[in-house]
Structure 1
Amino acid sequence: MLVFGDRGFPLILFPTTKGRYHQNKDFGLIDSVKWFIDEGLVKIYCPDTLDHRTWYDKGISPADRARNYSWYDKMLLNELAPWAIHETGVGKVAVAGCSFGGYHAANFALKHPEKVAHLFTMGGAFDIKMFTDGFYNDDIFYNNPVDYLPGDNKSELWQMNIILGTSEHDICKDYNIQLSNILAQKNINHWLDIRPNANHDWPIWKEMFPHYLSTIK
């Protein structure tokens, strides 16, 4: 894990598909919010994911992929989020990510809204069933936001600042519209931000991220 900043609102920032903990630095996403870090407004935690041992591991069964992911989720819930809260003295975290990092962020926030004050996704996709070869069990259900969210009534969902960032030519735009519709049906306030004339790529994400951080209060 890389950590940027020494104080401010704690934000967990996930990498894209099979990306490593240093990816968001390498592709300039951290530089795009340098002002917020230097001003002490945010402290950003960039963890690894376990994509290569979970949803993208075709060498193990879908049940094992889902079980491994549930363990990863427990690490975030019981280790990383509490540590970020402890270090900063802030009561909740923010979570964010681009592309598949948006899935990690959305799943953690919507599954554990008592821990999360802000959710920012950029080009995310939120239906994990595309990785499970038709198999389905509780581990998949409880890590698939479009499945569990309709029946989830935790009061903190209505208190969260939620931004779903996508773009006109984003390959994941329909996933964002789908999740936005579920949130709207539950009267959960959020912003579906569809940027014109942009693709599923880092340039638009680097425009979105500082804009979204500016909404943290």
Structure 2
Amino acid sequence: MYIAYYKEYSHFLGRDMEFKVYGHSGKPCVVFPAQDGRFFDYEGFGMVECIKNYIEEGKIQLFCVDSIDLESWSRKNGDYQQRIEQHEKWFNYIINEAIPRFREIYGETSGNYYYGKFLTTGCSMGAYHSANFFFRRPDVFDSVISLSGLYDANFFFPNHFNELIYNNSPVEFLRNMPWNHPYLDIYRNSKIVICVGQGRWEEECIRDTNYMKENLERLQVPAWIDYWGYDVDHDWPWWRVQLPYFLSHIL
């Protein structure tokens, strides 16, 4: 399996950012870590191993990025505006710096520059990020696998809403999306998987998954909303089962 580590400067964040690549070709996939996680966690928790056959066969290439959740979503007692502005800088880093770089790397490893759209995935907070990026930028992403996520920004910014927070809250902006919005036809031609277990530590995630289901049904956007069993906990052992299962259908 081709594996490479990168550390490159981000002008949006004013610092070096790290990421890791697994695989040489196939569908490029941006992987977001769980809350406060790092770019190496996907490998460390066995998520790369559980889909290594897809990677080695050239069916998927993973780009595992770093988070800055501790400066934004997870930062306690911080100014809400500063927190969400920091998140937005990271959002722009991913879209405007990381994604173009991933296209170049894909060309270097596969022999062909990649002009198409990306798959994105993540677990827990990574599920939120993957859904948020997909629904905000369907011009960049055409498929998403979100496992055990929270999708309402109010959980992290209680009793406070401004435009930036609203724009990063899929539950809210989908709820209010008009029928003539140009993104709807793009969503309808994408692959959307939102999965949640019904075991331990999934209560809030079940609630937000229900909200997403209601919103997408109202908008007539086809999506695979999957509720797993009451023994399925909010934890890595189950995400290692879910990811290859959904990839077998998405790919």
Flag whether TM exceeds 0.5 (same fold): yes
1:175 is aligned to 2:229:
no
Give the 3-state SS of the residue equivalent to 2:250 in structure 1: coil
Question: 1:77 matched to which residue of 2?
Answer: 95
Report the more deviating stretch, 135-144 or 167-176: 167-176
Greater C-alpha Rg: 2
Q: Taking structure 1 as reference, are residues 165 and 133 closer, same or farther at Cα in structure 2, changes over 3 Å only?
A: closer
1:17 is aligned to 2:35:
yes
Letter of the aligned partner of 1:134 in structure 2?
A: N
Question: 1:157 matched to which residue of 2?
Answer: 187
Question: 1:30 matched to which residue of 2?
Answer: 48
Give distance in 1, aligned partners of 2:99 and 2:188.
20
Report the more deviating stretch, 100-109 or 54-63: 54-63
Give the 3-state SS of the residue equivalent to 1:199 in structure 2: coil
Q: Please list every run of 5 or more consecutive structure 1 residues that lacks an aligned counterpart in the other structure.
A: none
1:211 is aligned to 2:229:
no
- Conserved in 1, the CA contact under 8 Å of 2:120 and 2:143? yes
Letter of the aligned partner of 2:94 in structure 1?
A: L
1:46 is aligned to 2:71:
no
Question: 1:198 matched to which residue of 2?
Answer: 232
Question: 2:110 matched to which residue of 1?
Answer: none
1:91 Cα shift?
0.2
Question: 1:139 matched to which residue of 2?
Answer: 164
Q: How high is the TM-score relative to the length of structure 2?
A: 0.83
Question: 1:67 matched to which residue of 2?
Answer: 85
Give the 3-state SS of the residue equivalent to 1:17 in structure 2: coil
Question: 2:4 matched to which residue of 1?
Answer: none
Higher relative contact order (CA closer than 8 Å, sequence separation 6+): 1
Q: Please list every run of 5 or more consecutive structure 2 residues that lacks an aligned counterpart in the other structure.
A: 1-18, 107-113
Question: 1:121 matched to which residue of 2?
Answer: 146
- Conserved in 2, the CA contact under 8 Å of 1:85 and 1:92? no
- Conserved in 1, the CA contact under 8 Å of 2:171 and 2:208? no
- Conserved in 1, the CA contact under 8 Å of 2:31 and 2:64? yes
Give distance in 1, aligned partners of 2:218 and 2:104.
35
Give the 3-state SS of the residue equivalent to 1:189 in structure 2: coil
Runs of 4+ in 1 over 6 A off after TM superposition: none
Letter of the aligned partner of 2:248 in structure 1?
A: S
Q: How many residues align?
A: 217
1:59 Cα shift?
4.3
Give the 3-state SS of the residue equivalent to 2:130 in structure 1: helix
Give distance in 1, aligned partners of 2:76 and 2:207.
25
- Conserved in 2, the CA contact under 8 Å of 1:33 and 1:210? yes
